[in-house]
Every structure is written in C-alpha cells, then in structure tokens.
Amino acid sequence: MRIKEVVETPEIEVKERVTLDPSRTAVVVVDMQNDFVRRNGRLYVPDAEKTIEPILRLLKKAREAGARVIYTQDWHFKDDPEFRIWGEHCVADTWGAEVVEELKPQPNDVVVRKRRYDAFFGTDLDYVLRHVVKADILVITGTVANICVLHTAGSAALNWYRVIVPIDAVSALNRFDYLAALRQVSFLYRGDLTTVEGITFEGVKTVS
C-alpha cells in the first residue's frame, strides 16, 4: 500500500530580522560536500548548489563580526550500515566526502566529522561549542534539510542551544521535505526561521 495525499501546508513564520551576539554565535555548515552538492555526486541534492552563494554571504558576515564557523562532514567507513539505506556515499578520504571548493573551511574554522544524521551523535560537537568556541546560539545551514540539518537542529534545541535556520541556506531533495523540515524546526523545536539577509550581528568587529 502507498499513501499519496494532497495536504495544505501549515503557516510557517519566517522572521524578517534576527539580531545575534557574535561572541555567542556559531554558524554550522552541514554536509556541503561533493557527494551531495555536485551533479556527479553519489547523493546529489538538486537545490544544494543554489545555497552556496547565500552560505558564502552568511559566512562573510559571521567572520567579519567575530562569530565562529563550524563545518560538519558526513564521514563513513567502507561497508557502513547506513549504506543499506542510501548506498555508498561520503566515504572517508574520497572526493565525495570533501567540502565543496567554494566553501572550503578556513584555518580558524572547526570541522566535525560525523557518522550519522545528527552532528551531535558520537562526536565532540557539544564539547567544541561549550568549551572551545563558547557558543550557545547556532545558525544552521546546509543539506539535507529534513535529514542532517533537521536532526542536528533537533539535538541542538533539546540541549538548549538557540537555533536559527536561514531558509535560503538549506536544501532538500524535494519541496515537501524542505517545507516539512522548516515546519519542524519552527513548531517542534521553536527555532527561528529567517533569511541570510535577515541575520545581523550586534557589536560587529572586523577580523583581519
């Protein structure tokens, strides 16, 4: 049996402006890797390339303000059990696992490698946020919106981080998954939705 039903999308609030303290904020770039973003990647997400430019604009603002940047990398060993679901992808030390060239991490950024959807599961992300970058506000971007972005946002919220998701800086495999993810971030986890343009930082201090 299959279910196919047309349903009305609940109203999802998107805030025009969100102002953040850069000293408490980290921008998290989730899985913007070749296997997801490039057309010849193993798990290509059609809208992922469109988010590169908005993410770049956000990273520029964040770095100039002194906010920290954290990248997650899906990072699997050969024969990972997850391949039963999605097929082989983001195998350690392969081209597919690399962050796309346009978004390559800078020396002051942090890279967290993860085995599962949730960037907190089995990683030191919580330790890094609390004790290294000292951030309790997370601006979460990247792909896939209803999978790794949503699971990471959910864990962040349940650990009492404030979560902000710029809607033009996340992507999904289809429109339904995209809207469902935004709905869950807003309704279930009480995160703030906005746009890259809508994010501003108080006390901007240019970092040379």
Q: Where are the domains of the chain?
A: 18-201
Say what the pTM is. Answer: 0.95
What residues does 33 pair with on adjacent strands?
A: 99
DSSP one-letter string for 71-85: EEEE-B-TT-TTHHH
Angstrom distance (rounded) from CA 170 to CA 158:
21
8 Å CB contact between 17 and 194? yes
Q: Exposure pattern of 149-165 as b/e (b: 16+ CB <10 Å)?
A: bbbbbbbbbeeebbbbb
What pLDDT does residue 85 have? 96
The structural architecture, per CATH, of the domain 18-201 is: 3-Layer(aba) Sandwich (3.40)
Q: Catalytic residues, which ones?
A: 31, 114, 148
Angstrom distance (rounded) from CA 182 to CA 10:
11
Under DSSP, is residue 126 helix (H, G, I), strand (E, B) or coil?
helix
Q: Residue 112 to residues 17, 143, 175: CA-CA distances in angstroms?
A: 29, 15, 28
Start-to-end C-alpha separation, the chain: 59
8-state DSSP, 111? E
What tens-digit pLDDT sequence spans the chain (208 residues)? 999 998 888 999 999 999 999 999 999 999 999 999 999 999 999 999 999 999 999 999 999 999 999 999 999 999 999 999 999 999 999 999 999 999 999 999 999 999 999 999 999 999 999 999 999 999 999 999 999 999 999 999 999 999 999 999 999 999 999 999 999 999 999 999 999 999 999 975 544 4
What pLDDT does residue 208 have? 42
Other beta carbons less than 10 A from residue 12's beta carbon: 14
What residues does 140 pair with on adjacent strands?
A: 28
Angstrom distance (rounded) from CA 191 to CA 162:
7
